[in-house]
């Protein structure tokens, strides 16, 4: 009889150990699933922010290119003191287009970071001093946190025709900068491109 009791006790001990192991496996599996879901969500947020920044960048390039050949292009070639001035001056030709002067060029990482911090603090789509909100190709897109972008006139010292470009002909160089962040406010993405326009 005592042998049977010992066996029952051993079976119960083995069953408890097995139950403990199964519980640990289940908890570990749940934690891994939670971590994977968070990583997938982070990647998705970052991808959305990147896509929004790239969309704003390409639209700024498109609007700048479309401005070439218009009467306003020569006046806009050297940029404006603020985005508000630029948007007001170019509203009849190209809406929501901000071209700043060369003195405000974002040619260093420190300048870009400072600009992005200020731009991301602006939650509306209205023009601020150094950026404008992106509202999509058709100006009807709605973003939880609208991307911001700016165009700056830049120097092309290697181009001998740059001086004449400010008189209405030659080659113009611009730096386009866009920043966006995900709906959660994390993962800011900053993109830049250089646009070369020739006007005869």
Confidence of residue 83 (pLDDT cuts 50, 70, 90): very high
- Cα–Cα distance between 31 and 151 in angstroms, integer? 46
Kindly tell me the burial class for residue 152, based on how many C-beta atoms sit within 10 Å of its own C-beta (0-12, 13-18, 19 or more).
buried
Q: Which residues contact 31 (CB under 8 A, 6 or more apart)?
A: none
Lowest mean pLDDT among 25-29, 107-111, 120-124, 153-157: 153-157
- Predicted pLDDT of residue 184: 64
pLDDT band at 70 (very low <50, low <70, confident <90, very high): confident
The residue extents of the domains of the chain are 3-199
The rounded percent of the chain whose pLDDT value lies above 70 is 82
Return the pLDDT at 160.
45
Confidence band of 39 (pLDDT split at 50, 70, 90): low
Q: What does the pLDDT read at residue 165?
A: 43
The predicted pLDDT at position 157 comes to 41
Whether residue 164 is predicted with pLDDT greater than 60 in this model: the reply is no
DSSP track, 2-44: HHHHHHHHHHHHHHHHHHHHHHHHHHHHHHHHHHHHHHHHHHH
Using the structure block, give the residue that is written with the tokens 């960048």. 57
């Amino acid at each position: 009889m005592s042998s049977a009791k010992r066996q029952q006790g051993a079976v119960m001990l083995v069953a408890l150990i097995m139950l403990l192991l199964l519980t640990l496996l289940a908890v570990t599996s749940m934690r891994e699933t939670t971590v994977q879901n968070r990583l997938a969500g982070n990647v998705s947020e970052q991808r959305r922010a990147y896509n929004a920044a790239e969309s704003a960048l390409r639209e700024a390039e498109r609007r700048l290119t479309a401005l070439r050949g218009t009467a306003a292009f020569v006046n806009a070639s050297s940029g404006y003191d603020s985005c508000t001035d630029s948007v007001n001056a170019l509203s009849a030709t190209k809406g929501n287009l901000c071209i700043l002067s060369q003195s405000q060029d974002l040619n260093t990482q420190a300048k870009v970071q400072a600009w992005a911090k200020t731009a991301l603090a602006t939650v509306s789509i209205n023009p601020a001093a150094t950026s404008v909100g992106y509202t999509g190709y058709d100006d009807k897109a709605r973003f939880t946190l609208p991307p911001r972008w700016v165009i700056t006139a830049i120097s092309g010292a290697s181009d001998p025709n740059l001086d004449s470009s400010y008189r209405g002909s030659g080659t113009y160089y611009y730096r386009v900068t866009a920043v966006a962040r995900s709906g959660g406010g994390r993962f800011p993405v900053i993109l830049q491109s250089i646009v070369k326009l020739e006007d005869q």
